[in-house]
Structure 1
């Protein structure tokens, strides 16, 4: 090969291992990822990269594994400021007696901005490059994520009753449609519709949400079949399971993301599979609130696209998606009574490519292949207490902690370098967080 055929590019990352996600089940060794602008132009052996590319910057990560950035498909980012505030309570007590009153007292645009930045810092530091948020003041969350350079699906809230963000469904839908219009073409922000749950959204606004989704192409995310009470109460009062009601209203489809799904029977799975709706598994929140167990293996075996989310830090209590993936893999084995029910490669696929599919962006995100956007993370596997490394995929799911992430790029822009965040001022953020904590402690003491 002559010098004339050498290609110039921006960044070359050399790594000991690389898990591309596509093709499935593959681990490559001594690979180089070549980044030009916002995208990946090549994933090739290091020797080939020596011959074919010259880059402005070369990063050598000889004890690391490279993989696509993680996609956290469900959360309430600003609730990080409520972390640990009302633990060890059942869901409805937690919501009615603690969370909703606290939200009424404290949630404001500044609360959302500070809580969202705290959540983004934690997610970036532990390997997440894209997150989905469903919370108040979504326009603030969108701007915060955009300014930080983090990808986010922003689901505006829709409920039957007034909140700090609006007076009711009419105002939520009006503001939400404006949010979709403002951010629809942005590469970082994916505006979406967030009807809270079947028990908080009646038929008329839910039908309007479906119409807005059809009109704009926006995704629709809803908490669904989260608890046994939700399903039994709906069956007793309405004569149908919540998912059947959604199907009747046209709310199940390829743009629908069903969060939790811990109470699932065969007919529910058939509905999900036939409509192409996606499921967001939040195992740690479901365990902590004693909500139930999502049958991950059964869903996947029937062709349902299963993704993963942390839920909010108030019910988890962290946003480390590697930890969530480990819990999902372990729990699936117990639920299915099968040690092979959710293998490590499948668990990583849930946290990457499956999330991209739910967002409708699998052509751009979710795997390390040429032509996709450069959303990449590097995890250091040199820790002596996880040695020896026979299979890096196994280590990432069963042994690793998210804070072993040392580097992160989104759109080719570094977000974490040598374990340090590049776009968030942590000392300044901590001052604001402590101010909120003091106010919340005072309220609890009163």
Structure 2
């Protein structure tokens, strides 16, 4: 027996991939940094995280990656996008929100949006996001079937919106048709490993109370999130008071939509009593600092929200109003803006900005048991960032470098469920040359 036990000590455990990295930031616990650790991947999930010396003694794998000057983090979660609008990037800049929408974006969409437009726009957005370390995005746009198909083909995680709006479009003629098509998509994706759904009413000013009530009932029946633009501008608030006698948040509260299932995007116009109510109901918020600044919509009171224990995630919004899908830029802007608005240099420290871009997004989407942090048992959605370049040297605190110094061009490798979607800065399942050719086609068509 003693000889058998001694022999078992030398049997190596089998893994699919071993990643040895200089720094590892698990996000849970917040602010933790592990030096010279290995992450073990087996069957698409994180099997274990342990010191490299111990990993070499215990594990063997057909794929071993040595990342000597890199930091390994969870995949970034872009909690609010309109992916296909990447094809409208730069079309109408330097305009206020309503002029931008009514005079430029909506007319262009009426002419050009189709299943083909959404498919090729989503392909552009997915390629950009993967190269920038985003492994999951939450989308709201027409023809979500096309966006879902592109995300699945690229091996990227996505939550696609069952969009609802009272206005007719090329996608649907009525709210009934929007919901019917959305529910069919939900059934198609019911068991998909990467792509799930959310109900996505555009906003309280474009969706009637009757339809918002239907959405609340469906969200409860299907157990899916509700993704909505809310309290984005002062004009939205004034319009709601004029038409309904109350602010938009109060309208949603009366319907019963404020809950842990609600993902409220923007939220730049908030009063203290409203923030208290958001905390009581467990509502999630998505902060889009760059888009809000560019459209002069206002500032989400992030420090005050966090003080109340409200979960605040980060999103880029669409590339038509940002104008990029860069979560490193959003982290930096969120941290700096919070400090400037609060007049407090300690507001929103770097580790919390990273939390907003990872685990907070996963929590908002109902995926925190699967992604958002590097914890054994979760899917191996990972990003490796090279800190061994001039612009991020020297490294005293890797988390601070990630938020205040790193550029998304430093992303070297990206894994989704253990499968490498970006290797040494190159996409593994998408063709950049073909995507650029498609972009030129749509540029010429839209400009004409």
**Could you say whether these structures have the same fold, taking a TM-score greater than 0.5 normalized by the shorter chain as the test?**
yes
CA offset digits 1:379-417 (Å, max 9, x no partner):
000111321111110010000111110000001000000
Once residues 119 and 183 of structure 2 are traced to their aligned partners in structure 1, the CA distance between those partners, rounded to angstroms, is 21
Counterpart check, 1:260 vs 2:270: no
Query: What is the CA–CA distance in structure 2 between the aligned matches of 1:310 and 1:48, rounded to whole Å?
Result: 40
CA contact (8 A) 2:166 2:208 kept: yes
Partner of 1:58: 64
Show the counterpart of 1:36. Answer: 42
Return the match for 2:15 from 1, 9, 19.
9
**Whole-angstrom distance in 1 between the partners of 2:423 and 2:360:** 26
State the Cα deviation string for residues 337-360 of structure 1 (Å, max 9, x = none): 111110000000001011111111
What is the aligned partner in structure 2 of residue 382 from structure 1?
A: 388
What residue number does 1:430 align with?
A: 436
Q: How far apart are 1:75 and its partner, in Å?
A: 0.7
Instruction: Tell me the equivalent position of 2:297.
Output: 291
1:277 counterpart = 2:283 = yes
Q: Do the aligned residues in 2 keep the contact of 1:64 with 1:378 (CA within 8 Å)?
A: yes
Question: Deviations along 1:317-356, whole A, 9 cap, x unmatched?
Answer: 0001011111001001111111111000000000101111
Stretches of structure 1 lacking an aligned partner (at least 5 in a row) = none
Tell me the secondary structure at the aligned position of residue 407 of structure 1.
Answer: strand
Counterpart position of 1:362: 368
Give the counterpart of 1:135 among 138, 141, 154.
141
2:79 is matched with which residue? 73
State the alpha-carbon separation in 1 of the partners of residues 353 and 433 from structure 2: 34
Q: Is structure 2 residue 246 aligned with structure 1 residue 249?
A: no
Q: Describe the SS at the equivalent of 2:67.
A: strand
Partner of 2:124: 118
After superposition, the CA RMSD in angstroms is 0.9
Q: Per-residue displacement from partner, 1:28-73 (whole Å, max 9, x unpaired)?
A: 1101000012101011000010111111111000000000000000
Question: Is the deviation greater in 4-13 or in 120-129?
Answer: 4-13
| 1:300 and 2:306 aligned | yes
The match for 1:412 among 418, 421, 425 is 418
Please identify, of 288-297 and 382-391, the stretch whose mean Cα deviation from structure 2 is larger: 382-391
Task: Give the corresponding residue for 1:331.
Answer: 337
Q: Which segments of structure 1 move beyond 3 Å, counting only runs of 4 or more?
A: 1-5
Deviation at 1:4, TM superposition (A): 4.4
Alignment of 1:85-100 (within 5 A): 85-100=91-106
- Report whether the alignment pairs 1:391 with 2:397: yes
CA deviation profile, 1:140-178 (whole Å, cap 9, x unmatched): 111111111100010121111101210011101111111
Give the TM-score normalised by the residue count of structure 2. 0.97
Q: Give SS of 1:313's match.
A: coil
TM-score (normalizing by structure 1): 0.98
Which residue pairs with 1:174 in the alignment?
Answer: 180
